[in-house]
Amino acid sequence: MDYFNYKDNRLFAEDVDINTLAGKYGTPLYVYSKRTLVEHFRKIKDAFEGLDTLICYSIKANSNLAVLSAMREEGAGFDIVSGGELYRSLNAGADPAKIVYAGVGKTKEEIRYALKTGILMFNVESAEELKTINNVAKSMKKKADVALRINPDVDAHTHDYITTGKKENKFGIDIVLARTLFNSARKYMHINLIGVDMHIGSQITTVGPYLEAIKKVAAFIQELRADGAAIEYFNIGGGMGIIYNEEKPTTADSFAGAVKPLIAGLRLKIILEPGRFIVGNAGILVTKVIYNKKGRNKNFLIVDAGMNDLIRPSLYGAYHKIIPVNVVKAKVELYDIVGPICESSDFLGKDRHLPRLDEGDLLAVRSAGAYGFAMSSNYNSRPRAAEVMVSGSKYSLVRERETWSDLILKEKKTK
């Protein structure tokens, strides 16, 4: 469900014609629909009603300040994984008491920044990190609130690169080791162990892996409690999948319906860290055809967005629907839609049927709101795209297109 629809054969974001935005801001252009964003947040929030729940939007999916402030207005907290994400969330007006901080490689400097800010808690991913947090907190004469991130060793049945809860993954702490760590954590004078956390992967379309993991982690929480631990929070992570093509992901209601019976009796505050579910279908990437190139075996639509703008197809073989911005009656042809970058892996979609398109025609890559702009780069010295947020019939440029001079701004020639 989203608000990118055709009206009179022209694609609109809510009430704004995509042709208008492309004309005004150029391409490649990310366009977000605030209504789609907010409604997805509310779907999760409403589904968990009745439980004491904090939804921490996972900034890594899309960290534009306009997205963050829309989430803040809805009462969301934030899930961060770096000092930079903390800086961004504070700039968007986030309440530090609603920020949780995960990530396997937090540096001392980042830990200090988070302690100074007064975040809700760190999701600790190793014994070594716990020790470092204790030392940094000690040097600041503070106590750090932490949750242990458990690696429950379950298969989330998603792409290998976005699986995070199997024992061979670098994330979280093995449940047996966590037990030992819990005992040593008690000796740390500058650590308050207040929570237990898990996050098993991304683009998970069934609830089964969550139930398996939650059962394991809930049993662990009960053991800790029996040992006298004052656990207040259970963070069940993010990862809920969306429709890119033909997937039939669990809805927020059925997800919550299945999960609630396992967590309600724990009488804990529940944290969720959704990213993709909220923002994935709230964004499109608009791109323009540069050439319609006839190859020997293939027709290529060479467009002005490349893997530096949207890396998901190249990185994970991810599928994004690609549709024309203007519906025309023309002969349907088979195309590979590729970018201008000098890599054979630079494609947005392969073997797509589209009406014949030519130089200057616009295409929209759907479901590009999550891990789209956030993963973009300047590869091939390409300035990054602009971003626009639409709300009803209003729109605003929420990130300017980079320029060629931006590309060399931080660089110096040797003498």
Return d(Cα 337, Cα 270) in angstroms, integer. Answer: 43
Near ligand PLP by CB under 6 A, which window of 132-140, 236-244, 321-329, 401-409?
Answer: 236-244
Active site residues: 342
Nearer to ligand PLP, 279 or 389 (CB): 279
Which residue among 41, 220, 277, 373 contacts ligand PLP (CB under 6 A)?
277
Near ligand PLP by CB under 6 A, which window of 30-38, 42-50, 248-256, 275-283?
Answer: 275-283
Orientation of helix 252-263 relative to helix 34-47, angle to 10°:
30
Residues 96-125 that bind ligand PLP (CB under 6 A): 102
With binding defined as CB under 6 A, does residue 79 bind ligand PLP?
A: yes
Smallest gap from Cβ 38 to ligand PLP, in A, equals 17
Classified as helix, coil or strand, 387 is strand
Write the CB contacts of 119 (distance below 8 Å, at least 6 apart in sequence): 86, 96, 97, 99, 100, 101
With binding defined as CB under 6 A, does residue 369 bind ligand PLP?
A: no
With binding defined as CB under 6 A, does residue 152 bind ligand PLP?
A: no
Contact present, 9 and 330 (Cβ < 8 Å): no
Q: For 22, phi and psi rounded to 5 degrees?
A: -65, -35
With binding defined as CB under 6 A, does residue 312 bind ligand PLP?
A: no
Contact present, 104 and 171 (Cβ < 8 Å): yes
Residues 199-228 that bind ligand PLP (CB under 6 A): 199, 202
Write the CB contacts of 408 (distance below 8 Å, at least 6 apart in sequence): none
> How big is the site for ligand PLP, counted in residues (CB under 6 A)?
18
DSSP state of 118: T
Smallest gap from Cβ 275 to ligand PLP, in A, equals 3
With binding defined as CB under 6 A, does residue 61 bind ligand PLP?
A: yes
Write the CB contacts of 381 (distance below 8 Å, at least 6 apart in sequence): 404, 407
Residue at token pair 């629907």? 321
Which residue among 276, 320, 366, 384 contacts ligand PLP (CB under 6 A)?
276
Contact present, 219 and 173 (Cβ < 8 Å): no
Smallest gap from Cβ 145 to ligand PLP, in A, equals 17
How many other CB atoms are there within 10 angstroms of residue 379's CB atom? Answer: 15
Return d(Cα 251, Cα 69) in angstroms, integer. Answer: 25
With binding defined as CB under 6 A, does residue 275 bind ligand PLP?
A: yes
Smallest gap from Cβ 344 to ligand PLP, in A, equals 27
How many other CB atoms are there within 10 angstroms of residue 118's CB atom? Answer: 12
Smallest gap from Cβ 128 to ligand PLP, in A, equals 18
With binding defined as CB under 6 A, does residue 274 bind ligand PLP?
A: yes
Residues at the contact surface with ligand PLP, assessed by CB under 6 A: 58, 60-61, 79, 102, 164, 199, 202, 237-240, 273-277, 370
